[in-house]
Amino acid sequence: MHTHIMPREMPDFARKFGYGDFIMLDHIESGKANMMQGGKFFRQIKENCWNPEIRIPEYAKFNTQVQVVCTIPVLFSYWAKPEHGAEVARFLNDDLAKSIAPFKKNYIGLGTLPMQDTDLAIKELQHCKELGFPGVQIGSNINDKNLDEPEFFPIFEACQELGMAVFVHPWNMMGMAQMKKYWLPWLVGMPAETSRAICSMVFAGIFEKLPNLRVCFAHAGGSFIPTIGRIEHGFNCRPDLVAIDNDVNPRDYLGKFWVDCITHDADALKFIIDKVGSDKVCLGSDYPFPLGDLEIGKFVEEMNLPQNDLENVFSHSSLGWLGVNANQFD
C-alpha cells in the first residue's frame, strides 16, 4: 500500500509560473531519467518509477498483485503559490488516474492535494474522489506547519465526510540542513517526522473529533510506536504542556490508525503488530526506491505469523483502511 510513481513527462512549471524548484524529468537514456529540481540533479530513477506496466511483473515476482500508488513527496509543491500548487496537484492526479486506468486489477491510486490552501485542497479532494481514488497522500508537515494547525482540520473533515483515506508520508525533514551527512535526513529525520505528524494529530484531538477518519502513517509510524512509553509518560507528567487540547492518553490511539510494515526488521514488526494489532498493519514497500522493502513482504513471510495476522498484513488491513472491496481485483 505504499509505493511511488510519477508522470513520464512533467510540464515545465518553473517556466510557466516564472519561479520555483519544480521537478522535471530529464530522460537521459532508454529506461533511465534524472529528476531535476530547479535545474539541479536530485535523484536518478528508472522506468519503473513512471511506467505502470513494467511494475506489474516486478511485483508478481513476490506474489503481489495490487499496488497502491501515490506521487513522490518531492512533487507535493506545497511551497508554491496556492493556485500553482493546485495546478500541479491536478496534473499529477489526472496523469495518475489515466496511467493506471488500463490496469484496474493491479493498481489503486492515491491523490495529491494542494495542502497550502484549505479550499483548493478540498476542491482537489473532491476531484480525487471523482477520479476513483479511495484516498490521498499528504506530507508529515506542510511548509513546516504541523498537522494540528486549524487550517488543516476542514481538509480532514472533508476526508471523513467523503470517506477518503489519508496516507501521511514524511518529507521536508526537520533538521535537514543540520544533518546532511550520512543520509541522516532519511535515517533519522523521517522516523521523527512521522512521529511529529502522529503526535500533532493525536494531541490536537483530531481522532476524537473525526472518529471515522481513516489514516495510515508511513514506515510503521516512524518513531511514534517505539517511543509510545515516553510519549505517554510526558502526557502524564506534564499535562500542562501535552494535554492542552485533548485529555485522552496517546496510548489509547494505538489500534485506531493504520501503519505500513516497512521496518526491515522482524522483531520490530512483531512489536508493532503487538501494539496496534495486525488489522492495522499494511504491507508496504516504498517501491521502487532503494530504502524500501524491495523483496516485497519476504521478511514478513519468514516471520511465521499466524495465518490470520499474515492475511491482515498482506491484504485485509489495506482494504479496511482504504474502504476497498477485494473482489474488484478478481
Name the site residues for Zn ion (rule: CB under 5 A).
286
CB of 19 to Zn ion, least distance (A): 27
**CB burial string 259-293: b at 16+ within 10 A, e below:** bbbbbeeeeebeebbebbbbbbbbbbbbbbeeebb
Q: Is 87 or 286 the residue whose CB approaches Zn ion more closely?
A: 286
* Percent helix, percent strand, percent coil in the chain, to nearest 5: 50, 15, 35
Nearest Cα to Cα of residue 108 among 129, 133, 71: 133
Instruction: Give the integer Cα–Cα distance in Å for 198 and 140.
Output: 8
CB of 170 to Zn ion, least distance (A): 8
Q: Is 156 or 287 the residue whose CB approaches Zn ion more closely?
A: 287
CB of 171 to Zn ion, least distance (A): 9
Instruction: Let me know: does 222 contact 194? Beta carbons within 8 Å.
Output: yes
Query: Nearest to Zn ion by Cβ — which residue?
Result: 286
Q: Is 193 or 286 the residue whose CB approaches Zn ion more closely?
A: 286
Q: Is 37 or 160 the residue whose CB approaches Zn ion more closely?
A: 37
The helices-and-strands tally (H runs, E runs) of the chain is 14, 11
CB of 73 to Zn ion, least distance (A): 7
Q: Is 1 or 120 the residue whose CB approaches Zn ion more closely?
A: 1
Q: Is 217 helix (H, G, I), strand (E, B) or coil?
A: strand
**CB burial string 110-145: b at 16+ within 10 A, e below:** bbbbbbbbbebbbbbbebbbebebbbbbbbbbbeee
Instruction: Let me know: does 109 contact 143? Beta carbons within 8 Å.
Output: no
CB of 136 to Zn ion, least distance (A): 14
CB of 6 to Zn ion, least distance (A): 12
Q: Is 5 or 89 the residue whose CB approaches Zn ion more closely?
A: 5
Nearest Cα to Cα of residue 297 among 275, 280, 279, 312: 312
Q: Is 204 or 322 the residue whose CB approaches Zn ion more closely?
A: 322
Q: How many CB atoms lie within 10 A of CB 101?
A: 13
- Residue 194 CA, chain-centre distance (Å), reads 10
- Residue 198 CA, chain-centre distance (Å), reads 13
CB of 233 to Zn ion, least distance (A): 30
